[in-house]
């Protein structure tokens, strides 16, 4: 399959700060790709390198097989949905969406028709005459999406586009973005610090930390088989068992991750632990446990009888739930 | 259970003293606070500032008796009629044209400076920018204008410098242009124009810089992302959003040029500008009504100017 974006040993340094540090990356044509990581991990800088707002300090970038270094953003067939939407406040919604077409020299009638089509695509038909300031956050987000899509880009970049929306709207937009991407077939590259968002939307996820990629894989890979302790912890706050404990339990000297939902609490289980805290989150209750001078978290589904703080309990898990991280950081 | 009336509440701090009670009053009634704060300046503005302007306006509707030279305190439009004499219209046209040229030139010169300061200057360079812009404002206006007279004079450094690099014919060519040229730069409209631009430029740069700084970088990036080359981004995004700053700056450069009477007196031809006409009429000529009528002209022009700027949408982004 052709690669949409290819990074070969790409770095972007600001003085001493290595925002992106020797990154190799391949985004395949037509996939929904998520860049996941905490703030300052290099994911947004990577996105800006693809958009052309930043140039790499070292390394090589290709977009659909063409060299991208030195190509300014306005010569790239790549469009961005900005975190703050970046709608032009002095233009109507219609002029905002038609901006790229206007720049490209498309006639007024044609570009307004295409703008209206794009607005229909994001389910805002008839909003063309309004001012961006008269729209809600969710609507602005859709206009920004329409403005990017109207140019029919080869790659669509989304920089935390759902960050400013409330939970309900965010979940709705996640589904819409996913189905939009599937129907349009455009390569989407999505930057987020929300692991739930990345896992639910992306075909593949790259996890960033300190300017480097920790792991690239399908959401299932990332979640079930994390390569490093950072990935295990950042994606779904896994329990990380140190190598000596793993040696004792599984006979192998490597760190291992253990998903909280895989930890069972019940009388017949293998290990002894003490309950140190409970926190109710709705569908599940998070139980904090002290286990061999270590802190473990277990998730208990609603309806299951709960232990109390200070109780001694028996805990256990399937051997297969213990995922060894031999590449461990 | 009760400790008696003297006991203080355990929750609310006691309120002793007159000052504390006054603070409480202001807290409960913010309008009182507003009145206390705003009263003196509003009185000052209302009575001294607007009052004197009103007195001026009234004066312009009086007229002067041509034989006795005394002011006749009867309302008439005769003085405004005098404004329409060709000689007076000349003065008005000359001043407005000069103010327009100075404003346009200031915008052109200020734009790159303001853009640099807003987008690129950081830390020490930004401090240097402010210092560079403000420093000329700290020295006396008269000193600066006289310095320019010396620079522009026929024996001045500019002529000398140009002769050293062999560009004297160019200067002479420019000076031989009718109307705007003259014997030397210091007695030509070009000279007046140069000094006006120099003196008012900071008043254009600062508001433009402030306006451009308020334009989020992401908007410029979004424009580039949409395929706009930098010139298109400037035209379609930066300029429209910086327009309020340009208008604010042009209000300064335009109105200050309209009213100034010192620069054209020191540097330039002997032909009058509005400010000089006001000065002459209220002083030696003793024609206060005509001086007042002349003063009303820039006010009216600025009124139209602001109205036009508003129609252009210059204040929409405020």
Q: How does pLDDT run across A133-151, given as a tens digit for each residue?
A: 999 888 999 999 999 999 9
Name the DSSP class of A320. G
pLDDT above 90 for B222 = yes
Closest chain A residue to B226 measured between Cα atoms? A100
pLDDT digits (tens, 9 = 90+) for A228-283: 888 888 887 788 888 888 888 877 778 888 888 888 888 888 888 899 988 888 88
> Can you read off the two tokens belonging to residue A48?
């800006």
Cβ–Cβ < 8 Å for A1, A28: yes
> Can you read off the two tokens belonging to residue A21?
């540090």
Closest chain A residue to B217 measured between Cα atoms? A86
B241 contacts chain A (CB < 8 A): yes
Can you list the alpha helix ranges (DSSP code H) found in B61-167?
A: 78-83, 86-119, 123-138, 141-152, 157-164
Rounding to the nearest 10 degrees, give the CA dihedral for residues A217, A219, A225, A229.
90
Q: Residue B78 and residue A247: Cα distance in Å, rounded?
A: 108
- Chain A: closest CA distance from residue B241 (Å): 7
In a mutagenesis test of the B interface, which of A47, A73, A146 is the best target, namely the one with the most B β-carbons within 10 Å?
Answer: A73
Chain B residues with beta carbon closer than 8 angstroms to that of A78: 225
Closest chain A residue to B241 measured between Cα atoms? A90
B139 contacts chain A (CB < 8 A): no
Cβ–Cβ < 8 Å for B56, B292: yes
pLDDT at position B8: 61
- Chain B: closest CA distance from residue A130 (Å): 15
pLDDT above 90 for B226 = yes
pLDDT at position A60: 93
Test A90 with B224 for CB contact under 8 angstroms. Answer: no
Nearest to B227 among A51, A82, A103 (CB): A103
pLDDT digits (tens, 9 = 90+) for B43-59: 888 888 889 889 888 88
> Can you read off the two tokens belonging to residue A114?
């295409």
Cβ contacts from A onto B, under 8 A: 65
B229 contacts chain A (CB < 8 A): yes
- Chain B: closest CA distance from residue A83 (Å): 9
Q: Residue A86 and residue A51: Cα distance in Å, rounded?
A: 15
Range A238-325 classified under CATH 2.60.40.10: no
Closest chain A residue to B222 measured between Cα atoms? A86
Nearest to B218 among A73, A82, A102 (CB): A82
Nearest to B227 among A86, A87, A100 (CB): A100
Name the DSSP class of B70. P
pLDDT above 60 for B6 = no
Cβ–Cβ < 8 Å for B163, B184: no
Average pLDDT, chain A: 89
**Which residues of A lie inside 8 Å of B (Cβ-Cβ)?**
51-53, 72-75, 78-80, 82-84, 86-90, 99-100, 102-104, 147-148, 151
Predicted confidence band of residue A61 (pLDDT cuts 50, 70, 90): very high
Cβ–Cβ < 8 Å for A110, A122: no
Predicted confidence band of residue A59 (pLDDT cuts 50, 70, 90): very high
Average pLDDT over residues A7-26: 91
The three-state secondary structure class of A197 is helix
- Residue with the bigger pLDDT between B84 and A191: it is A191
pLDDT at position B248: 87
Residues 6 or more apart whose CB falls under 8 angstroms from that of A24 comprise: A7, A8, A9, A10, A213
Cβ–Cβ < 8 Å for B92, B297: yes
Nearest to B221 among A86, A89, A151 (CB): A86
Q: Residue B277 and residue B92: Cα distance in Å, rounded?
A: 10
Residue with tokens 């109780």: A311
pLDDT at position A328: 47
pLDDT at position B69: 75
> Can you read off the two tokens belonging to residue A61?
């970038």
Chain B residues with beta carbon closer than 8 angstroms to that of A89: 241, 317
Q: Residue A314 and residue A310: Cα distance in Å, rounded?
A: 13
Test B221 with A73 for CB contact under 8 angstroms. Answer: yes
User: What is the tally of helices (H) and strands (E) in chain A?
Assistant: 10, 18
- Chain A: closest CA distance from residue B104 (Å): 23
> Can you read off the two tokens belonging to residue A134?
């008269």
Helices B274-282 and B239-259, packing angle to 10 deg: 30
Average pLDDT, chain B: 85
Average pLDDT over residues A105-131: 91
Domains and CATH numbers, chain B: 18-60 (no CATH), 78-311 (1.10.3720.10)
Nearest to B226 among A83, A89, A103 (CB): A103
A173-203 burial code (b ≥16 CB/10 A, e <16): bbeebbebbeeeebbbbbbbbbbebbbebbb
Q: Residue A274 and residue A270: Cα distance in Å, rounded?
A: 14
> Can you read off the two tokens belonging to residue B211?
């306006």
Q: Residue A324 and residue A93: Cα distance in Å, rounded?
A: 52
Q: Residue A309 and residue A318: Cα distance in Å, rounded?
A: 25
Nearest to B224 among A74, A88, A102 (CB): A74
B223 contacts chain A (CB < 8 A): yes
**Among the ranges B32-36, B282-286, B309-313, which has the highest mean pLDDT value?**
B32-36
Nearest to B229 among A74, A87, A90 (CB): A74
- Chain A: closest CA distance from residue B117 (Å): 20
pLDDT at position B317: 55
Cβ–Cβ < 8 Å for A182, A190: no
- Chain B: closest CA distance from residue A324 (Å): 43
User: What is the tally of helices (H) and strands (E) in chain B?
Assistant: 16, 2
- Residue with the bigger pLDDT between B59 and B283: it is B59
Q: Residue A224 and residue A230: Cα distance in Å, rounded?
A: 13
pLDDT at position A327: 61
Give bridge partners of residue A81 from the DSSP assignment.
Answer: A158
B219 contacts chain A (CB < 8 A): yes
Residue with tokens 């507003």: B34
pLDDT at position A229: 86
Q: Residue B271 and residue B269: Cα distance in Å, rounded?
A: 5
Chain A residues with beta carbon closer than 8 angstroms to that of B223: 88, 99
Chain B residues with beta carbon closer than 8 angstroms to that of A102: 236
Q: Residue A86 and residue A96: Cα distance in Å, rounded?
A: 10
- Domain at A3-232, CATH class: alpha beta
pLDDT at position B313: 67
Q: Residue A113 and residue B275: Cα distance in Å, rounded?
A: 56
Residue B33: C-alpha distances to residues A160, B23, B46, B177 (Å): 44, 9, 20, 62
| pTM across the whole model | 0.79
pLDDT digits (tens, 9 = 90+) for A27-47: 999 999 999 999 889 999 999
| Cα–Cα nearest to B192, from B266, B259, B268 | B268
Percent of chain A scoring above 70 in pLDDT:
99
Pairing label, strands A204-209, A32-36? parallel
Residues 6 or more apart whose CB falls under 8 angstroms from that of B127 comprise: none
Chain A residues with beta carbon closer than 8 angstroms to that of B226: 74, 79, 99-100, 103, 147, 151
In a mutagenesis test of the B interface, which of A48, A54, A83, A89 is the best target, namely the one with the most B β-carbons within 10 Å?
Answer: A89
Residues 6 or more apart whose CB falls under 8 angstroms from that of B94 comprise: B271, B272, B273
B184 contacts chain A (CB < 8 A): no
Average pLDDT over residues A186-211: 91
User: Any idea where the domains of chain A sit in the sequence?
Assistant: 3-232, 238-325
Chain B residues with beta carbon closer than 8 angstroms to that of A72: 224
Q: Residue B120 and residue B213: Cα distance in Å, rounded?
A: 10
Test B226 with A89 for CB contact under 8 angstroms. Answer: no
| Cα–Cα nearest to A36, from A172, A280, A218, A166 | A218
Test B226 with A151 for CB contact under 8 angstroms. Answer: yes
DSSP code string of A104-134: TT--HHHHHHHHHHHHHHTT-TT-TTS-GGG
Q: Residue A168 and residue B151: Cα distance in Å, rounded?
A: 70
pLDDT at position B201: 92
List % helix, strand, coil for chain B (3-state, nearest 5).
Answer: 70, 0, 25
């Amino acid at each position: 399959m052709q690669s949409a974006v290819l990074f070969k040993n790409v770095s972007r340094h600001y003085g001493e700060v290595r925002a992106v540090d020797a990154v190799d990356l391949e985004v395949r044509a037509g996939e929904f790709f998520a860049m996941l990581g905490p703030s300052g991990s290099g994911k947004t800088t990577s996105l800006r390198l693809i958009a052309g707002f930043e140039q790499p300090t070292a390394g090589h970038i290709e977009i659909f097989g063409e060299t991208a270094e030195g190509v300014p953003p306005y010569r790239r067939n790549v469009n961005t949905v900005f975190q703050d939407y970046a709608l032009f406040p002095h233009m109507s919604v219609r002029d905002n969406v038609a901006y790229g077409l206007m720049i490209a020299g498309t006639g007024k009638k044609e570009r307004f028709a295409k703008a209206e089509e794009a607005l229909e695509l994001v389910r805002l038909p008839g909003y063309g005459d309004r001012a961006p300031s008269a729209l809600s956050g969710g609507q602005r987000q859709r206009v920004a999406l329409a403005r990017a899509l109207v140019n029919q880009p080869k790659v669509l970049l989304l920089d935390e586009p759902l960050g400013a929306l409330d939970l309900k709207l965010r979940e709705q937009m996640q589904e819409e973005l996913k189905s939009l991407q599937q129907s349009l077939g455009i390569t989407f590259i999505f930057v987020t610090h929300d692991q739930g968002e990345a896992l639910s939307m992306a075909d593949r996820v790259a996890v960033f930390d300190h300017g480097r990629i920790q792991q690239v894989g399908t959401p299932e890979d990332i979640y079930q088989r994390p390569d490093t302790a950072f990935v295990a912890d950042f994606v779904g706050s896994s329990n990380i068992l140190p190598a000596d404990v793993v040696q004792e339990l599984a006979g192998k000297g490597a760190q291992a991750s253990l998903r909280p939902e895989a930890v069972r609490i019940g009388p017949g289980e293998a290990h002894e632990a003490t309950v140190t805290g409970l926190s109710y989150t709705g569908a599940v209750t998070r139980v904090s446990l002290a286990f061999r001078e270590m802190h473990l978290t277990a998730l208990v589904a609603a309806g299951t009888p709960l232990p109390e703080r200070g109780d001694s309990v028996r805990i256990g898990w399937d051997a297969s739930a213990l995922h060894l991280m031999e590449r461990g950081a | 259970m009760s400790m008696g009336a003297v006991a203080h509440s355990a929750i609310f701090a006691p309120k002793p003293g007159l000052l504390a009670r006054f603070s409480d009053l202001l807290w409960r009634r913010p309008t009182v606070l507003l009145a206390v704060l705003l009263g003196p300046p509003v009185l000052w503005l209302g009575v001294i500032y607007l009052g004197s302007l009103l007195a001026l306006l009234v004066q312009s509707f009086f007229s002067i008796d041509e034989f006795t030279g005394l002011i006749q305190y009867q309302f008439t439009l005769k003085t405004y009629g005098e404004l329409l004499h060709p000689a007076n219209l000349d003065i008005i046209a000359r001043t407005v044209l000069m103010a327009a040229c100075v404003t346009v030139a200031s915008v052109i010169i200020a734009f790159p400076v303001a853009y640099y300061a807003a987008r690129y200057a950081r830390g020490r360079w930004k401090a240097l920018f402010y210092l560079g812009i403000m420093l000329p404002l700290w020295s006396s206006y008269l000193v600066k204008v006289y310095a320019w007279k010396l620079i522009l004079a026929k024996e001045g450094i500019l002529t000398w410098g140009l002769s050293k690099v062999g560009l004297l014919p160019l200067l002479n060519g420019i000076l031989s242009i009718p109307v705007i040229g003259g014997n030397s730069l210091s007695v030509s409209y070009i000279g007046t124009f140069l000094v006006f631009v120099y003196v008012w430029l900071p008043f254009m740069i600062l508001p433009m810089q402030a306006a451009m700084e308020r334009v989020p970088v992401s908007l410029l990036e979004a424009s580039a992302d949409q395929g706009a080359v930098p010139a298109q981004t400037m035209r379609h995004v930066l300029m429209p959003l910086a327009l309020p700053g340009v208008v604010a700056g042009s209000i300064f450069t335009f109105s200050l040029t309209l009213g100034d009477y010192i620069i054209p007196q020191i540097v330039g031809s002997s032909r009058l500008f509005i400010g000089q006409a006001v000065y002459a009429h209220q002083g030696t000529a003793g024609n206060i009504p005509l001086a007042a009528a002349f003063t009303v002209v820039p006010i009216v022009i600025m009124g139209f100017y602001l109205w036009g700027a508003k129609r252009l949408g210059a204040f929409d982004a405020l």
